[in-house]
Amino acid sequence: MERLSIDDIILKIQKQELFEAVSEDYSFTLKIDSYVPYVCAAVHDGHQFRKELWDNCLHTEYERWYEEDPATKQMIQSHPIVIAGMDSRFEYDLNRPPETAIYKDAWKRKLWKSSLTNEQRNRSLEKHSNFYKVVHALIEKIESTFSVCIVYDMHSYNWQRWDRKVPTWNLGTTNVDNERFSDDIEIWREILERTPLPNEIESSSKINDTFQGNGYFLKYITANFKNTLVLATEIAKVYCNEVEQILYPEVIDSVEKYLKLTLPQHAKDFYNKHKQ
């Protein structure tokens, strides 16, 4: 793993070099083991929260963890291209546009004791901007190389806060081309539904049941790249005790091993079907 500037990361992508790097400000990581027509992303995996914000934050460390997507990077870490956030969404949310990326309220509760300074806001927004500069360069390179791309946008959600039965997996597809990609979406849903999970955990999957795929990461890529499908893929937090903040490594491992087996084949089939 190297520590690289944004310009150096983009240059390596443009030259189609293989590398694994953390951004110079330690806000995200990118691994490229080979150039393939698919990308795995975990934009909400991060938990870092810079120290100058600690005393001003009204949410506890646990409350921040509860709303993040822990271990989602681990579930996709074996794939050739993986990009993941390292900072907490409570500092700035990579899945929101810049104008709303810094929360004032979080889940109906005020976040800050006092308003952030312009310098504090700008420092966070610069990291948000840099991430999307790299995302743009990455998808641009893949589309130009393979003509099409598919992005597996991994998230998790707190299933215990719902007052009804919710699926283990949810696909949000409201903002993608469902007419063009309907078969690819349904096949991915079926793959997820067959996920073998330990501890007698049920695996079910639905489309637009708990979330509809309204995230900025999906919207940004879809708006800028017409031959890329982003699959906003949410797993219920059956892989942890979301109340007691305990991860279940055996469940995380089972998801990772299953996706290592099934995701590349889905991506290959997508490429063979849609390449130009």
Q: What pLDDT, on a 0 to 100 scale, did the predictor assign at position 252?
A: 98
Mean of pLDDT values over 159-188: 96
What structural domains and CATH numbers belong to the chain?
2-268 (3.40.630.40)
Give residue-wise pLDDT tens across range 21-41. Answer: 999 999 999 999 999 999 999
Mean of pLDDT values over 237-265: 97
Per DSSP, the residues of 188-238 read HHHHHHT---STT----EEESSS-----HHHHHHHHH-TTEEEEEEEEEST
Q: What pLDDT, on a 0 to 100 scale, did the predictor assign at position 276?
A: 86
Name the one residue in this structure whose structure tokens are 């806001």: 121
Share of the chain above pLDDT 70, in %: 100
Mean of pLDDT values over 120-133: 98
Tell me the sheet residues that pair with 21.
2, 30
Residue 185 to residues 74, 91, 111, 122, 146, Cα–Cα distance (Å): 23, 32, 36, 37, 20
Between β-strands 109-110 and 149-157, what pairing exists: parallel, antiparallel or unpaired? Answer: unpaired
Return the half-sphere exposure (C-beta side, CA atoms, 13 A cut-off) of residue 105: 4
The pLDDT confidence band at residue 108, using thresholds 50, 70 and 90, is confident
Q: What is the C-alpha to C-alpha distance for residues 7 and 12, in angstroms, rounded to an integer?
A: 9
